[in-house]
Amino acid sequence: MNERYSRQVLFPGIGKEGQAKISSKHVLIIGAGALGSGNAEILTRAGVGRLTIIDRDYVEASNLQRQQLYTEEDVAEKLPKAAAAEKRLKAINAAVEVRAIIGDATPELLEELVTGVDVMIDATDNFETRMAMNDAAQKYNVPWIYGACVGSFGMSFSIIPGKTPCLNCLLRTIPLQGMTCDTGGIISPTVQMVVSHQAAEALKMLVEDWQAVRTSFVSFDLWRNQYTSMKMTKAKFAGCLSCGEERTYPYLDHKNMTKTTVLCGRDTVQIRPSTAAEISLERLAGQLSTLGYNVKGNPYLLSVEMENERMVIFQDGRALIHGTKDLTHAKTVYQRILG
């Protein structure tokens, strides 16, 4: 057994056998923001076999206060979070097979990615993706760990298909929709506390210590010094469309996918083309420069300065339009550049 994991192997809950299990497993992390960075670093250091991480955004200065994988250099280079995360995680532990995906975690892509995954971790900032994760987890029988935070308030819950209630069941008792937008700001300790809860649960699942997995819904407020743990055994709903007897997995339905989204807590709209396209960024940069636009970029994305907005275009045709929350206006700007 590798010396680098000796302290973890000494821990009775893991041991040599647990370490061997950890190194043979595959974790999927949805989102590479604050929660994604923290979880990815812990699991990479813990020596997970494979780690797949997906994110649609790129690194900005306001991320550095809490998104621990990123540096000022990543901000200067406007690196996509997934690419920057991959670089850092590989430097931390070269033995982990890290795969980073720059893109939107659409239901279609989630269904593809979740196959063969042992544990999935929620590190998204939006409700739509969480619900799609929840359906994918139920459909493909993958345990996952919900986590969310805002300000000094955080919460987490472990979901095991066929055993615990699912996120869709919980919605009947807990108003989780309000917990998706970080408009109220956030302090880094809140992130770390949710990450600690999620990563500990992930380790229990990876070593298959199912008895140890928490069955209650945990929430806390680090500023007000409040900690609560709610029993959720009765929350499982037989008529649930995601985990019940007559399940339809409504959030995996493509018709329910939005193509235009206002990004959480930001003056930014994301536009995703209806069919994924591979764009030649180099050619597009040339065309736009000829038209007089100020264009900057790296191998993953282009940033185009316009009079009132700034547009960032990714290889898959997806774009972030900064400087507006107006969906219709954002579409107009998008079409002006990409037709």
Backbone angles phi, psi at 312, to 5 degrees: -115, 120
The residue among 169 and 313 lying less far from Zn ion, judged by its C-beta, is 169
Token output for 147 = 């986590």
What is the closest distance, in whole angstroms, from the C-beta atom of residue 137 to Zn ion in the complex? 10
What is the closest distance, in whole angstroms, from the C-beta atom of residue 117 to Zn ion in the complex? 20
d(CA 327, CA 312): 16
123 close to 33: Cβ distance less than 8 angstroms? yes
Q: Is residue 169 a contact point for Zn ion (CB under 5 A)? A: yes
Token output for 128 = 């739509």
d(CA 189, CA 197): 12
Token output for 91 = 């430097």
Question: Where in 243-262 is the site for Zn ion (CB under 5 A)?
Answer: 243
292 close to 321: Cβ distance less than 8 angstroms? no
What is the closest distance, in whole angstroms, from the C-beta atom of residue 216 to Zn ion in the complex? 17
Q: Is residue 242 a contact point for Zn ion (CB under 5 A)? A: yes
Using CB under 5 A, which of the segments 94-102, 121-129, 219-227, 240-248 binds Zn ion? 240-248
- Residue 174 neighbours by CB distance under 10 Å: 18
- What string of DSSP letters covers 219-247? EEETTTTEEEEEE-GGG--TT-TTTSTT-
Which one of residues 67, 168, 219, 324 is an interface residue with Zn ion (CB under 5 A)? 168
How many residues bind Zn ion (CB under 5 A)? The answer is: 6
What is the closest distance, in whole angstroms, from the C-beta atom of residue 228 to Zn ion in the complex? 22
The residue among 246 and 278 lying less far from Zn ion, judged by its C-beta, is 246
What is the closest distance, in whole angstroms, from the C-beta atom of residue 175 to Zn ion in the complex? 16
The residue among 34 and 171 lying less far from Zn ion, judged by its C-beta, is 171
d(CA 203, CA 43): 8
* Helix (H/G/I), strand (E/B), else coil: 324: coil
d(CA 242, CA 249): 5
The residue among 28 and 240 lying less far from Zn ion, judged by its C-beta, is 240
Amino acid at residue number 20: A
Using CB under 5 A, which of the segments 24-32, 46-54, 234-242, 289-297 binds Zn ion? 234-242
d(CA 68, CA 71): 8
Using CB under 5 A, which of the segments 55-63, 161-169, 171-179, 212-220 binds Zn ion? 161-169
What is the closest distance, in whole angstroms, from the C-beta atom of residue 169 to Zn ion in the complex? 3
Q: Which residues of 175-195 are buried (b: 16+ CB within 10 A; e: fewer)?
A: ebeebbbbeeebeeebbbbbb
Question: Where in 53-92 is the site for Zn ion (CB under 5 A)?
Answer: none
Backbone angles phi, psi at 308, to 5 degrees: -115, -15
Using CB under 5 A, which of the segments 92-100, 242-250, 256-264, 283-291 binds Zn ion? 242-250
Q: Is residue 166 a contact point for Zn ion (CB under 5 A)? A: yes
The residue among 243 and 320 lying less far from Zn ion, judged by its C-beta, is 243
Q: Is residue 240 a contact point for Zn ion (CB under 5 A)? A: yes
Using CB under 5 A, which of the segments 142-150, 226-234, 236-244, 268-276 binds Zn ion? 236-244
What is the closest distance, in whole angstroms, from the C-beta atom of residue 234 to Zn ion in the complex? 13
Interface residues with Zn ion (CB under 5 A) are 166, 168-169, 240, 242-243
